[in-house]
Amino acid sequence: MSKKKTSYLSETRFINASYAKQSELIEALNKVKNLECEIEKTLQQMKIKVSQLERLMEVAHLLNSTLNPELVREKALEATCKLLNCETASILLVDFEKNELFWDVALGETGRHLKENLRLPLQSNSIAGIVALSGESLLINDVPSDPRHFKKATEKTGFKVTTMICVPLKIKDKIIGVLQAINKLEEIPQKNSLYPWASFDPEDLKLLTSLSNQVAIAIENSRLYNSLKKSFYDTVSALAESIEKKDHYTGGHTKRVHYFSECIGKHMDLTSEQMERLKLSALLHDIGKIGVDDHVLRKQAKLDADEWVIMQKHPELGYQIMKKVESLSDVIGGMRYHHERWDGKGYPQGLKETEIPLNARIIAVADTYDAMISSRPYRKGLLPKQAYQEILKCSGTQFDPKVIEAFKLAFENENMGKQTG
């Protein structure tokens, strides 16, 4: 073989080898790029998963930190929207007496309209009905075409539903309602969808199922708590009414003082817990009269000096009766000191100004106002406006000036001016 031909073959082999190495290099670079894309995609998915887990933990903490049913349900829906990246959500509960599902809570103005105006039969002809009856979840990404879609809701509200996940809310083996996630929003990175809109996927269903377990427990706990609280209030109210049965002329006094105290409290920026304690204090404020002799309590004339001494013992008697109830430790101060005065000339301990618990200062105004507008065998009650004017004159002496300012607002804005005893 000639040297020229040998050289040509060598060059060809070299070029081919170079092309091969370039192809291998390009292929390797492409693999690196693809790997980078996969890593980026995986990181994005991990971030989403971490965010979802954080939200689930936040929701669990929130649902375990309150027994307020409205707050529990509202926060559960907000968590649903964030967790599944959807437009809105709703909770429908079962009305076992009427065999219906009703919108217990739904987000936004549309949700308010649904809650106030719509119910649906607990039957297998609606998405929510099927889930509530069967206990099986449904994931539907083309709701408009689904024959089980409750179109009446769309007609009433004008809100269009395209995608939905509906899961049961279960307590043990009992289904108390359903939780719905509605209208999946676009995500980054975007997921493939068979429709012109974003779609829910099985991972979304798993997340909502996990959330629904927590929501169901929280709803049941709040229901049990409120049932227990109602029983407690009913018992306190019955106890208070039993006192009034001893004196025909004070009938309804406790309920009115309770109402007037609540009216005043509304204008004092009280928290919900403070308002609850105020209302309980007002219900119990005269409970000590159970220990006052009937001849004093039922006397149809003004009390003499000795009888006043007996009557003035009722706040302390009430305290002695109720102090053993540990759950009322934040309440009995309002009951015990509602006859104290801002200037220190009241009873039973002669407390003054802010030494007197706020509940007691509020009840003092409500109690005095009702006493003034209530008729007795020996005198006719004042007109509300007359009593109002007399109360104002005692600001800074008998009553806390701040409470009097709230009383003025309550008298003007509530129904206090129309009440008579």
Q: Assess if CATH 3.30.450.40 describes domain 62-222.
A: yes
Q: Is 268 left (phi over 0), alpha (psi -120 to 50) or beta?
A: alpha
Residue 27's pLDDT is 75
CB atoms within 10 A of CB 358: 20
- What is 245-418's CATH number, 3.40.50.880, 3.30.1600.10, 1.10.3720.10, 1.10.3210.10? 1.10.3210.10
Residue 373's pLDDT is 92
What is each CA distance from 125 to 130, 148, 165, in whole angstroms?
A: 7, 5, 16
Q: Where are the beta strands (DSSP E) in 245-294?
A: none
Provide DSSP, 28-63. HHHHHHHHHHHHHHHHHHHHHHHHHHHHHHHHHHHH
Residue 420's pLDDT is 52
Instruction: Annotate 14-46 with b (16+ C-beta within 10 A) or e (fewer).
Output: eeeeeeeeeeeeeeeeeeeeeeeeeeeeeeeee
Residue 401's pLDDT is 97
By the 10 Å C-beta count (0-12 exposed, 13-18 middle, 19+ buried), 234 is classed as: exposed
Which residues of the chain, if any, have pLDDT below 70?
Answer: 1-21, 42-67, 69, 107-117, 153-154, 156-157, 188-190, 247-251, 417-421
Distance, in Å, from the CA atom of 324 to the CA atom of 10, rounded to the nearest integer, reads: 107
By the 10 Å C-beta count (0-12 exposed, 13-18 middle, 19+ buried), 359 is classed as: buried
Where along the chain do the CATH 3.30.450.40 domains lie? 62-222
Residue 130's pLDDT is 93
Instruction: Annotate 305-339 with b (16+ C-beta within 10 A) or e (fewer).
Output: eebeeebebbbebbbebbeeeeebeebbbbbbbbb
Residue 123's pLDDT is 82
Taking Cα atoms as reference points, which of 205, 219, 200, 59 lies closest to residue 136? 205
What is each CA distance from 282 to 27, 221, 336, in whole angstroms?
A: 83, 27, 11
pLDDT per residue as tens digits for the range 275-294: 989 999 999 898 888 888 88
Q: Which residues contact 202 (CB under 8 A, 6 or more apart)?
A: 139
Residue 121's pLDDT is 81
Q: Across-strand partners of 140?
A: 164
Where along the chain do the CATH 1.10.3210.10 domains lie? 245-418
